[in-house]
Chains A and B, each alone.
Chain A
């Protein structure tokens, strides 16, 4: 048996409110408990008897019955004096003869913080593993396929087709890894997307070029109408800008069959923006002037009922599921996350069966160089 003093000292230094009960009597409470519930104890004028029953509305007899089958009884309590959020009450036996009970009260912010910290740690580890262990084999496949396809004179048409399919799947996996990394990052809010500066015209050009094979293979054409001129730098991190354009373009390619995809880039001002997205939305954007990007396809479009949910995480529209089973439902969610954390807005117009147009605005970076 532990010395009674040691037990009392331990309970006293325990960082959460705690009570020890023997039978129906309270043996000890710590200062943390007293601070949290002092007011209730004084106003209800309860003595040591039935403290838990009065304070937390639990019947000890019922708790003991539950504890016969389970090791732990828990209940959510409303906030206390110091902790405004909910609190979790845990009651369990501390002795072998099942007589002495300990009740520990944990405020919500305490256990939520603890939980968030461990989740963030898991995310960090995931990021490292994903970047290195997944991307390395993916780059090997990517580069090897590229080399074979560059020098493809000895290949039959069927072989070329198969390699193109492999290349396309490889690209999709790389996109997925990149998307998961971005979600993980943006959701843990470790950075803002607006850190970098990048030419949107050159990124659009690069992404269009990278997708050329795929566009041709699906009998499509891309037209880019860039009216930005020299003033084409936006305040977004390079890789994220690339990801936004890649996500929107691959959606346009995936969800249409033939036809032309039109991309346009131009400057916009508050007046024009108000016309496009309404006064309240446009007013919320502080940084002007902006670049207005739009991408239009003549594809399957988005049904009315799905339009509200299109930016949700992991959401996939029913009509695209029948057309194409591949896809993670992350693309638009991420695109929106990045654009908004860079101070921009994204929206769309779409009609089922008639195609979609996605628009976004991003703040122009000033061209002044010191």
Chain B
């Protein structure tokens, strides 16, 4: 069973993501701030992390940096799902080791599902 960790603080977006990603072959876990996200990444060892950038406690960039600096978490692919979308922000996230970057308002849920499937298949 593949494990996905969602780090996102907006309740409505969480509901949407959980609904569309829910499946018998996946285990979903959720963190609504950066600190919890980092802790869960270590204990759960997910196959994929969906990471928002503006989140409480530790922001997404710092979370990404920490994930990529830790031996246990550095190989987990991270898909950034954010509404920040300036070129600098995208560049910064990719330089820190994000696998891909999607601007929430510009993508359909179906595109997210497709991306998640592709990224999980790569892990196998």
Contact = CB atoms under 8 A, between A and B. Distances in A.
Interface of A: 127-128, 131-132, 135-136, 138-140, 142-144, 146-147, 150, 174, 177-178, 181, 185, 191, 195, 210, 237, 239, 242
A132 B83 contact: yes
29 contacts: A127-B86, A131-B84, A131-B86, A135-B83, A135-B85, A135-B104, A135-B105, A136-B13, A136-B83, A139-B104, A139-B105, A140-B10, A140-B13, A143-B16, A143-B108, A146-B110, A147-B16, A147-B19, A147-B20, A147-B109, A174-B106, A177-B105, A178-B106, A181-B85, A191-B87, A195-B87, A210-B108, A239-B85, A242-B106
7 closest A-B pairs by beta carbon, nearest first, are A135-B83, A135-B105, A139-B104, A143-B16, A140-B12, A139-B105, A174-B105
Nearest to B17: A143
Name the prevailing secondary structure of the B interface residues. Answer: helix
Nearest to A127: B86
Interface in B19-42: 19-20
Interface residues of B, number: 19
Nearest to B9: A136
Contacts, number: 60
Contacts of B84: 128, 131-132
A contact patch SS = helix
B104 A136 contact: yes
Interface string B105-121: 11011100000000000
Given A132-B83, A135-B83, A239 B103 contact: yes
Interface string B34-72: 000000000000000000001000000000000000000
A131 B85 CA distance: 7
A239 B106 CA distance: 9
Contacts of A142: 105, 108
B110 A132 contact: no
Contacts of A131: 83-86
Most chain B CB within 10 A, of A177, A181, A185, A239, is at: A239
A150 B108 CA distance: 11
Nearest to B81: A139
